[in-house]
Chain A
Amino acid sequence: MEKEETRKELVVSAIENGTVIDHIPGKVVFQVVKILNLSEVTDQVTFGTNLDSRKMGKKGIIKVSNKFFRPDEINKIALVAPSATLIIIKNFKVVEKKKVEVPDSVEKIVKCFNPNCITNHESVITRFTVIDKEDLKLQCHYCEKITARDTISFA
Chain B
Amino acid sequence: MPLFFNFICSLKFLPMKNKSLVSITDFTREEQIHILDLAEEFEKKPTQKILQDYVVATLFFEPSTRTRLSFESAASRLGAKVIGFSEPGSTSVQKGESLRDTIKTVANYSDIIVMRHPKEGSARFASEVSEVPVINAGDGANQHPTQTLLDMYSIRKTQGTLDNLNIAFVGDLKYGRTVHSLVMALSNYNTTFHLVSPQLLKLPSATKIHIKENKLEYYQYTDIIDVIPKVDILYMTRIQKERFSDPIEYERVKNSYILRNSMLEKARPNMRILHPLPRVNEITIDVDDNPQAYYFTQALNGVYVRQAILASILGVKK
Contacts and interface: CB of A to CB of B under 8 A. Distances in A.
A144 interface: yes
Interface residues of B, number: 18
B120 A116 contact: yes
A123 interface: yes
A121 B139 CA distance: 14
A114 B142 CA distance: 11
Contacts of B121: 112, 117-119, 140-144
B297 interface: no
Residue with the highest number of chain A CB atoms closer than 10 Å, among B100, B119, B120, B121:
B121
B120 A118 contact: yes
B120 A124 contact: no
B142 A144 contact: yes
A122 interface: yes
B126 to A, nearest CB: 9
A144 B98 contact: no
Contacts, number: 51
A146 interface: yes
Contacts of A124: 125
A116 B141 contact: yes
A145 interface: yes
Interface in B97-125: 98-100, 117-122, 124-125
Contacts of A143: 119-121, 139-140, 142
Residue with the greatest number of chain A CB neighbours at <10 A, chosen from B23, B99, B124? B124
A121 B98 CA distance: 9
Contacts of B301: none
A146 B206 contact: yes
A116 B140 contact: yes
Most buried by A among B120, B122, B141: B120
Contact of A144 (B100, B118, B125, B143): B143
A124 B122 CA distance: 10
- Contact residues of A: prevailing secondary structure: loop
Nearest to A124: B125
B124 A141 contact: yes
A80 to B, nearest CB: 23
A148 to B, nearest CB: 11
A142 to B, nearest CB: 3
B240 to A, nearest CB: 16
Contacts of A146: 206
A121 B119 contact: yes
Nearest to A120: B119
Contacts of A123: 98, 100
A116 B118 contact: yes
A120 to B, nearest CB: 8
Contacts of B125: 118-119, 122, 124, 142
A148 B143 CA distance: 21
B120 A122 contact: no
A145 B98 contact: no
A106 to B, nearest CB: 15
Contacts of B140: 116, 143
Interface in B222-258: none
Contacts of B124: 118, 141-142
A118 B122 CA distance: 5
A116 B98 CA distance: 15
A141 B124 CA distance: 8
A137 to B, nearest CB: 9
Nearest to B124: A142
A112 B118 CA distance: 16
Contacts of A140: 121
A118 B143 contact: no
Interface in A114-155: 114, 116-119, 121-124, 140-146
Given A118-B124, A118-B139, A144-B120, 18 more contacts: A112-B121, A114-B120, A116-B141, A117-B120, A117-B121, A118-B121, A118-B122, A122-B98, A122-B99, A122-B100, A123-B100, A141-B124, A142-B120, A142-B121, A143-B120, A143-B140, A144-B143, A146-B206
21 contacts: A116-B140, A116-B141, A117-B120, A118-B119, A118-B122, A118-B125, A118-B139, A119-B125, A122-B98, A122-B99, A122-B100, A122-B125, A123-B98, A140-B121, A141-B124, A142-B121, A143-B119, A144-B23, A144-B121, A144-B143, A145-B142
Closest 4 interchain pairs by CB? A142-B121, A143-B120, A143-B121, A118-B121
